[in-house]
């Protein structure tokens, strides 16, 4: 397929039409995980689109989402995009002042908020944002108070349905917007910040996302039977782009609103794929080895032997070699006695785990591959719609961040800076033409701010950080909270 056939909204919409009662999304309600079918997801997308259009939003108007992960995050996102609007994620840990800057700078007209904390912050800054017309509270237990210009999710959806019933042309307009959708439309503004200055809105369009969908199809293996645990912040490009890919493939996305419950969620959801960052693996690695250090001599020896068998088997796979009969039998025993039990810490069904955000220690990377967990190292940034490089199957080198993604032109420039050009690279920074110009060289390559080099096999290595192009502080805060329980 050509890149024009990878329009994310049209792909997800078709999934909603074809998927029927198959589960598209899951979330925890009380103590149970509840499913939302593709049919229900599609209906909610349509309802959001119509409600936003009834609110008077025009093509490419901006809609904000300030929430922890939940199915309604994606409903608001895809429903907005389906109406050819632009979504602006806001980190749920932002202060009211930080949120106000993004809302004002991005010209957000409607703001979806997830929980009471985000709602209260939004109400407190409403008067500071003259272009903001409406706040929509997504969680049912939010106390709306006596404020005007706010609606609950249900009231918002009902308003759209009523408007559609009274004005049949509204549905016709939505159908026309969907038909007119093209790869030149903006998808999102994602605000990232360096060590100084105000956040910058990264403009990503449908061509950016289409190139990533196509490239991931060539690099990864994901299908309708896969299950992904969505626990990194959707406000960050890593989880957002991954969720887009999961939905595009028709897999099931499980939203974890409370990151303090990640350990329980792994056992309950039993994901086959999930995004994670190096700190996640470091914590698990440390916890396992701390427990082993307190075990008996026999158990320590068994653990060491089993991991060694796993490492030898992983090396055979990576090098394309057939393992000996002795190794096969030894590994089968090691897997039964030790390795399979360790994989159960992550639910027992993981087949692939994209990993990015920082360097993963070589020892830790090899350890997880020895367990039979395919940690797929990669490199990317908001300005490149996430992935620039990652490992192809079955290759793995824990010192490297993989080979360039299909379509990505990556080269090493002055001061060994990694430069990137290709269809996944952003359009620029919103309202900042001078900043945009400084971020590209004379040949149109994005200056990543990372120093690195290639080896003779085309494997990319990062050696240093030249400057801060993007370093979302709130992601670190969220991850620290998450990792306290691992």
> What are the pLDDT digits (tens) for 260-270?
899 999 999 99
pLDDT of residue 320: 87
Q: Provide the sign of the torsion angle of the four alpha carbons 381, 385, 388, 393, taken in this order.
A: positive
pLDDT of residue 311: 96
> What contacts 345, CB < 8 A, 6 or more positions away?
266, 284, 288
pLDDT of residue 464: 84
Average pLDDT of every residue of the chain: 93
pLDDT of residue 479: 45
Neighbours of 316 (CB within 10 A): 17
* Tens of pLDDT, residues 69-78: 999 999 999 9
pLDDT of residue 481: 44
**Contact indicator for 111, 135 with CB cutoff of 8 Å:** yes
For the chain, list residues with pLDDT below 50. 468-486
User: What is the CATH architecture of 3-205?
Assistant: 3-Layer(aba) Sandwich (3.40)
The CB-based long-range contact list for 312-320 (8 Å cut-off, 24+ gap) reads 313/370, 314/366, 314/369, 314/370, 314/372, 314/396, 317/394, 318/369, 318/394, 318/395, 318/396, 320/394
Could you tell me the pTM of the whole model?
0.93
> Interior CA angle at 343 toward 339 and 348, to 5°?
125
Q: Which residue matches tokens 């006695």?
A: 337
pLDDT of residue 485: 43
Q: Give the H or E element holding residue 323.
A: none
pLDDT of residue 319: 86
pLDDT of residue 195: 55
Q: How far apart are alpha carbons 190 and 241 in whole angstroms?
A: 12
Angle separating helix axes 153-166 and 169-180, nearest 10 degrees: 100
Strand, helix or coil for residue 2: coil
């Amino acid at each position: 397929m050509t890149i024009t056939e990878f329009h994310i909204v049209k792909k997800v919409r078709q999934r909603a039409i074809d998927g029927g009662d198959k589960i598209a999304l899951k979330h925890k309600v009380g103590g149970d995980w509840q499913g939302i079918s593709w049919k229900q997801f599609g209906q909610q997308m349509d309802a959001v689109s119509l409600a936003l259009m009834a609110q008077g939003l025009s093509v490419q108007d901006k809609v904000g989402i300030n929430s922890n992960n939940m199915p309604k995050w994606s409903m608001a996102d895809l429903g907005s995009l389906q109406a050819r609007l632009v979504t602006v994620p806001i980190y749920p840990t932002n202060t009211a002042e930080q949120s106000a800057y993004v809302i004002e700078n991005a010209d957000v007209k409607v703001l979806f908020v997830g929980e009471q904390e985000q709602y209260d912050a939004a109400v407190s800054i409403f008067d500071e944002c003259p272009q903001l017309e409406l706040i929509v509270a997504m969680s049912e237990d939010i106390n709306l108070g006596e404020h005007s210009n706010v609606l609950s999710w249900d009231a918002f959806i009902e308003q759209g349905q009523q408007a559609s019933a009274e004005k049949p042309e509204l549905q016709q307009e939505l159908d026309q917007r969907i038909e007119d959708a093209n790869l030149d439309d903006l998808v999102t503004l994602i605000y990232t910040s360096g060590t100084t200055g105000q956040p910058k809105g990264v403009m990503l369009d449908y061509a950016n996302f289409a190139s990533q969908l196509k490239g991931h199809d060539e690099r990864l293996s994901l299908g309708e039977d896969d299950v992904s645990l969505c626990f990194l912040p959707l406000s960050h490009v890593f989880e957002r782009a991954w969720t887009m890919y999961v939905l595009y493939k028709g897999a099931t996305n499980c939203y974890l609103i409370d990151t303090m419950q990640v350990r329980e969620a792994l056992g309950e959801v039993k994901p086959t794929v999930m995004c994670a960052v190096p700190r996640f693996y470091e914590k698990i690695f440390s916890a396992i080895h701390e427990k082993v250090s307190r075990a008996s001599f026999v158990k320590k020896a068994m653990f060491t032997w089993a991991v060694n068998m796993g490492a030898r088997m992983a090396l055979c796979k990576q090098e394309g070699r057939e393992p000996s009969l002795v190794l096969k039998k030894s590994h089968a025993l090691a897997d039964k006695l030790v390795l399979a039990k360790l994989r159960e810490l992550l639910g027992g069904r993981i087949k692939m785990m994209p990993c990015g955000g920082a360097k993963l220690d070589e020892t830790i990377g090899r350890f997880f591959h020895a367990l039979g967990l395919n940690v797929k190292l990669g490199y990317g940034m908001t300005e490149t719609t996430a992935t620039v490089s990652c490992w192809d199957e079955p290759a793995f080198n824990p010192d490297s961040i993989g080979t360039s993604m299909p379509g990505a032109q990556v080269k090493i420039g002055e001061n060994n800076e990694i430069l990137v050009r290709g269809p996944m690279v952003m359009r620029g920074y919103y309202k900042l033409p001078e900043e945009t110009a400084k971020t590209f060289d004379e040949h149109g390559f994005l200056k990543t701010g990372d120093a690195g080099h290639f080896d003779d096999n085309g494997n990319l290595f990062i050696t240093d950080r030249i400057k801060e192009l993007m370093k979302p502080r709130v992601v670190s805060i969220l991850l620290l909270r998450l990792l306290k329980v691992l």
